[in-house]
Amino acid sequence: MFIYSLHIALPQSPFGFLGPSGVSTRLKHASFLRCLLCGFLLASCSAPLPYVSKPSGQEEARRNFTARSLNDAALKQFLISAGQSLPNQDQAWDFETLSLVSTFFNPDMAVSEAHWREAMAESGVLLSSKSPQLDFLMEHHSVTEPIRPRPWSWGIGFEFVLPDADRVAAKTQLATVQVTLARLEVASSSWRGRSALRAAWIDYFIAQDRAVLVEQQLALSRAHLLQIRQRVDSGLQGRGDLQAAQDWVQIVEIEHAEIQRALQRQQAHLRALIFLPPSETALPHLQGWDWQALMEKVFNLREDVLQDLALTHRLDLRGAEARYAVADAKLRLEVAQQYPEISLKPGYEWDQGDHRLKLGLGLPIALPGAHKAAVERASSERDTQGQLLLATQEQVLQESTRAHKDCLVASDKLKDVKRAQTLSERARDQVKLSIRLGEADPIQAFEAELKVMHAKMQKLEAQRDLQQKMARLEDVLQQPLMLISVRGAP
C-alpha cells in the first residue's frame, strides 16, 4: 500500500503564488505532470477499504434463540464433526453428547471466538511491514536570480524502511503468543460451560433419587397411618397416636411437594445450561455416569501421573505461560526499538530545468538513554509474569493433590454410610422376623423402615458429595476422568 503526501512551500512575498513579474505560476512543464501522474497511479494501486455498516443482529439472534431445538441440522453436523451422533428418540443422552450441545449453543463461545478472530486480525497488523511512502514536493522561491530564473521546483520521492531482523522476530513472537492466548480463552469458555453443566447434571440425578426416596417414605407413612387408624378403631391405641401419624403424613407430603419443585428447578437449570429456549420444556432422557468405574480410575491414579495431567492440561497454567511469553516478546521488541530503523529514500527532482535523481539514507538517532525507561518497564513486567507463572504452577500442584485426597476421603465416607445402611436393613429384617414370631409389636416395623429410609438419604448425600469431589478433581485436572489412563498421561 502506497501512502502519499503533498508538501507545498508557500511563498514569503505578499504576491501569493505570483512572482515578482506578476506571471501566474501555472504548471507548464510536462516533466512534472508526468511525475504527478505516475505518483497518483502508484498511489491508486491499493484502494482504501470502505466502511461497511453492520447492524448488531439482535432481532435475528432472538428469532434464532426461540427457534433453537435439539433437532437443529447444524447441531447434527457439529456432533458428527466431533465424533458423536444425535441419539435416537428412544436412546438416552450421555453427558459428553449433552456437553457438546451446550458448547454448540453457548454464547460465551461465540464471544471468545470473536476475540480470537480479533487477535488474529491484530497479529496481521502487527506483522505488516511499513508501507513505502510516496512524497510530492513543490517549492516556490520568492526571489529569482540569474542562476534561478524560474520560481518553481518540484519533485517526487519514495521512502522504503529496511526490514529489521530483531524487530521482525519480536513482533512475530508477540503476534503468535497473543493469538495463542486468545485460543486458550476459547478453550476456557468451553471448559467453564462443561463444568457448570456437570454440576447441574449431578444435582439433577440426585434430585431424581431423592424424589424416589421421598415417594417411598410417603407411601410408607400413609400405610402406617392406615395401620394406626385400624388399631385406634380396635382400641389398641389412643387418638393421640392417630393425630401424630396424621401430622407426620402431612410433613412428608410437604417435603414431597418441595422435592418435586426442586426437581423441576433442576430440570429448568439443566435446560438453561444447554441454552434451550423456555418453550423447550421437555428434557431428553439422560443416562447417568458410571461413578464406580470413574472412582476406580481415581483410586489407581499415581501422584506423578496426577501432577503431569494437571501441568499439561490446566488452561490457567498454559495462560500464565502465554502471558509470560507475551511479556518476553514485548521486552524483546523494546530492546530492538532502541536502535534506529534505516530507510532508503530514492527520488526525482526538477529544479530550474535540471533533472536530478536522488538517493537518500534515513537514520534517525535517538538520544542516549531515551528508551531506557521503556526497556526497564518491559523487563519488570516480564519478571512479574514469571513470578505469577511459578505461583500458578505451585497452586496447580497443590490443588491436584488436595482434590485427589478429597475424593479418597469422600469415598471412605460413602463406604461408612453404606455399612450403616446395611446394619439398619439387618435391624429392620430382625424386627420383621420378631413380629412374625409374635415377639415384637407390628408398629415397630414402621420405625425400623424409617431408619432404613434415613440411612438411604444419608447414602444419597454421601454419593452427591463424592460426585462433587470427583467433579472438582476433573476441574483441577481439566481433563475428563473417563479419558484418563491409569498407566500414564494420555
Average pLDDT of the segment spanning 106-133: 86
Q: Classify residue 332: in a domain, yes or no.
A: yes
Residues 269 and 298 in one domain: no
In the predicted structure, residue 11 carries a pLDDT above the cut 70 = no
Residues 299 and 184 in one domain: no
Domain count, the chain: 2
Q: Classify residue 71: in a domain, yes or no.
A: no
pLDDT in tens, 93-115: 888 888 998 999 999 998 999 99
Residues 315 and 464 in one domain: yes
Q: Classify residue 177: in a domain, yes or no.
A: yes
The reported pLDDT for the residue numbered 5 is 38
The reported pLDDT for the residue numbered 145 is 60
Which band of pLDDT confidence, cut at 50, 70 and 90, is reported for residue 146? Answer: low
From 246, 261, 288, the end of a domain falls on 288
Residues 256 and 388 in one domain: no
- Mean pLDDT for the chain? 82
Q: Classify residue 145: in a domain, yes or no.
A: no
In the predicted structure, residue 271 carries a pLDDT above the cut 70 = yes
Residues 294 and 279 in one domain: no
Residues 225 and 305 in one domain: no
In the predicted structure, residue 39 carries a pLDDT above the cut 60 = no
Q: What predicted TM-score, i.e. pTM, was given to this entire model?
A: 0.78
Q: Classify residue 184: in a domain, yes or no.
A: yes
In the predicted structure, residue 123 carries a pLDDT above the cut 60 = yes
The reported pLDDT for the residue numbered 45 is 55
pLDDT in tens, 399-456: 999 999 999 999 999 999 999 999 999 999 998 888 888 887 888 888 899 999 999 9
Q: Classify residue 470: in a domain, yes or no.
A: yes
| CATH number for 381 | 1.20.1600.10
Average pLDDT of the segment spanning 63-83: 84
Residues 331 and 420 in one domain: yes
pLDDT higher for 106 or 146?
106
For every residue of the chain, which 3-state class applies, written as one string?
CCEEEEEEECCCCCCCCECCCCCECCCCCHHHHHHHHHHHHHHCCCCCCCCCCCCCCHHHHHHHHHCCCCCCHHHHHHHHHCCCCCCCCCCCECHHHHHHHHHHHCHHHHHHHHHHHHHHHHHHHHHCCCCCEEEEEEEECCCCECCECCCEEEEEEEEEECCCHHHHHHHHHHHHHHHHHHHHHHHHHHHHHHHHHHHHHHHHHHHHHHHHHHHHHHHHHHHHHHHHHHHHHCCCCCHHHHHHHHHHHHHHHHHHHHHHHHHHHHHHHHHHHCCCCCCCCCCCCECCCCHHHHHHHHHCCCHHHHHHHHHHHCHHHHHHHHHHHHHHHHHHHHHHCCCCCCEEEEEEEEECCEEEEEEEEECCCCCCCCCHHHHHHHHHHHHHHHHHHHHHHHHHHHHHHHHHHHHHHHHHHHHHHHHHHHHHHHHHHHHHHHHHCCCCCCHHHHHHHHHHHHHHHHHHHHHHHHHHHHHHHHHHHCCCHHHCECCECC
Residues 193 and 232 in one domain: yes
Q: Classify residue 191: in a domain, yes or no.
A: yes
Average pLDDT of the segment spanning 223-236: 86
Residues 322 and 312 in one domain: yes
From 273, 288, 303, the end of a domain falls on 288
From 255, 288, 321, the end of a domain falls on 288
The reported pLDDT for the residue numbered 15 is 33
Residues 380 and 470 in one domain: yes
Q: Classify residue 330: in a domain, yes or no.
A: yes
Residues 284 and 411 in one domain: no
Which band of pLDDT confidence, cut at 50, 70 and 90, is reported for residue 186? Answer: very high
Domain that holds residue 311: 290-339+368-490
pLDDT higher for 210 or 359?
210
Residues 167 and 269 in one domain: yes
